[in-house]
């Protein structure tokens, strides 16, 4: 395809060439009409004479031979060092006695110039995926946040005052322990749609199988109210997701259950990344005077995330924008 600033498109080249070849125009006259050089007009006219209309198409500007191109065996060594040891261009260049700029060019050409594109465990390039419509796959998981004591937590009031607030709250709630006041944990059960990144979350008191099943059933109903039919669910290997109750619930709801490989949280990376966004945008985003105040802010933040927050992985659009392309929506 012609570049954005090209004066001649394939159709315009054909008009120029026909003026010269078929209508007898001079190169200079044709070039003046199309605001190009006479040399350019001659090139397209000669190509039309020898190749016809097909000769007006774009061609690659890549040379037929590149004698200074990095040899293939060196390219393989660069890639191997990058994958296995995750070394930078300077370190690789030192080992192979090559210029660092050449190593960087090889990494760019092989699309492994950024370490974020390489799996930290295997060293292999990341294989990103996305299901083609909402509901095709949902991710489920549980993340935990320590409850905030009355008066605020240590992140905003300092460690000494935060500890005093924690001790006072533990005494009031009856959870005191000698030298270790406890105010409990918030178990946040999260569900996120793979295609749209639409998120659903509930704060519960535990992460048992019965609780996980209850959250799944409520999430499926919540998604259905938005026109999303859940087909598959992906979870880790936690006890709640290996229970008979979870298996029976998936069967009853007509959902296929898939589990990640053991010790491979990357497989469920979309919901892990959501947890980080959740922590930054809600859990620790501002000062909360109590756990009740923080929990009250969760529905509002979820609405903002689903309806207003731009998501870079889906073209800088909010998740809800992808619900307009549901299966059968336009049939």
Q: 103 is written with which tokens? A: 């190593």
Q: What is the pLDDT of residue 330?
A: 42
CB neighbours of residue 66 within 10 Å: 8
Q: Considering only 12-16, 28-32, 221-225, 325-329, which range has the smallest mean pLDDT?
A: 325-329
Q: Over 90: is that where the pLDDT of 198 sits?
A: yes
Q: Which CATH number characterizes residue 320's domain?
A: 3.30.420.10
* Domain annotation covers residue 63: no
Q: Over 70: is that where the pLDDT of 122 sits?
A: no
Q: 225 is written with which tokens? A: 């109210």
* Domain annotation covers residue 198: yes
Q: Over 80: is that where the pLDDT of 133 sits?
A: yes
If pLDDT is split at 50, 70 and 90, which confidence band does 207 have? very high
* Domain annotation covers residue 97: yes
Domain span at 110: 72-117
310's torsion region: left (phi>0), alpha (psi -120 to 50) or beta?
A: beta
* Domain annotation covers residue 244: yes
pLDDT digits (tens, 9 = 90+) for 146-181: 999 999 888 888 989 988 888 888 888 776 655 667
pLDDT digits (tens, 9 = 90+) for 252-268: 999 999 998 887 776 78
Q: What is the pLDDT of residue 3?
A: 59
Are β-strands 232-235 and 256-259 bridged in parallel, bridged antiparallel, or unpaired? Answer: parallel
CB neighbours of residue 138 within 10 Å: 28
- Quote the percentage of the chain above a pLDDT of 70: 90
**From the CA atom positions of the chain, what is the Rg in Å?**
30
Q: Over 90: is that where the pLDDT of 86 sits?
A: no
Are 78 and 32 found together in one domain? no
Q: Over 70: is that where the pLDDT of 128 sits?
A: no
Q: Over 90: is that where the pLDDT of 182 sits?
A: no
Q: What is the pLDDT of residue 327?
A: 46
Average pLDDT over the chain, rounded to an integer = 87
* Domain annotation covers residue 276: yes
Q: Over 50: is that where the pLDDT of 329 sits?
A: no
Among candidates 175, 178, 228, 177, which has minimal Cα distance to 205?
Answer: 175
Are 193 and 44 found together in one domain? no
Are 43 and 95 found together in one domain? no
Are 105 and 230 found together in one domain? no
* Domain annotation covers residue 241: yes
**Residue 296 is inside which H or E element, if any?**
helix 291-307
* Domain annotation covers residue 301: yes
Are 307 and 254 found together in one domain? yes
* Domain annotation covers residue 211: yes
Q: What is the pLDDT of residue 72?
A: 92
Query: What is the largest distance, in Å, between two alpha-carbon atoms of the chain?
Result: 102
- In the chain, the number of structural domains is 3
Are 33 and 98 found together in one domain? no
């Amino acid at each position: 395809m012609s570049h954005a600033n090209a004066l001649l498109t394939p159709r315009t080249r054909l008009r120029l060439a026909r003026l010269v070849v078929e209508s007898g125009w001079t190169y200079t006259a044709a070039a003046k009409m199309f605001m190009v050089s006479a040399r350019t007009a001659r090139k397209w006219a000669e190509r039309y004479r020898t190749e016809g209309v097909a000769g007006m198409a774009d061609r690659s500007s890549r040379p037929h031979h590149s004698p200074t191109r990095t040899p293939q065996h060196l390219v393989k060594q660069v890639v191997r060092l990058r994958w296995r040891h995750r070394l930078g261009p300077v370190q690789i260049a030192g080992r192979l006695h090559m210029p660092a700029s050449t190593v960087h060019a090889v990494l760019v050409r092989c699309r492994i110039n950024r370490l974020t594109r390489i799996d930290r465990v295997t060293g292999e390039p990341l294989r990103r995926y996305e299901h083609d419509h909402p509901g095709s796959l949902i991710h489920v998981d549980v993340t935990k946040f320590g409850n905030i004591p009355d008066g605020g937590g240590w992140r905003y009031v300092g460690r000494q005052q935060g500890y005093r607030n924690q001790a006072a709250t533990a005494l009031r709630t009856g959870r005191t322990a000698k030298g270790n006041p406890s105010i409990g944990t918030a178990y946040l059960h999260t569900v996120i749609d793979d295609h749209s990144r639409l998120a659903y979350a509930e704060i519960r008191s535990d992460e048992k199988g019965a609780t996980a099943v209850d959250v799944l059933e409520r999430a499926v109903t919540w998604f259905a109210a938005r026109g999303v039919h859940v087909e598959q669910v992906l979870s880790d290997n936690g006890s709640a997701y290996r229970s008979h109750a979870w298996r029976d619930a998936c069967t009853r709801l007509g959902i296929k259950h898939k589990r990640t490989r053991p010790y491979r949280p990357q497989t469920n990376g979309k919901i892990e990344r959501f947890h980080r966004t959740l922590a930054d945008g809600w859990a620790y985003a501002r000062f909360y005077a109590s756990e009740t105040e923080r929990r009250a802010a969760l529905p509002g933040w979820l609405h903002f995330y689903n309806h207003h927050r731009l998501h870079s992985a889906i073209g800088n659009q909010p998740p809800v924008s992808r619900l307009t392309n549901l299966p059968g929506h336009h049939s």
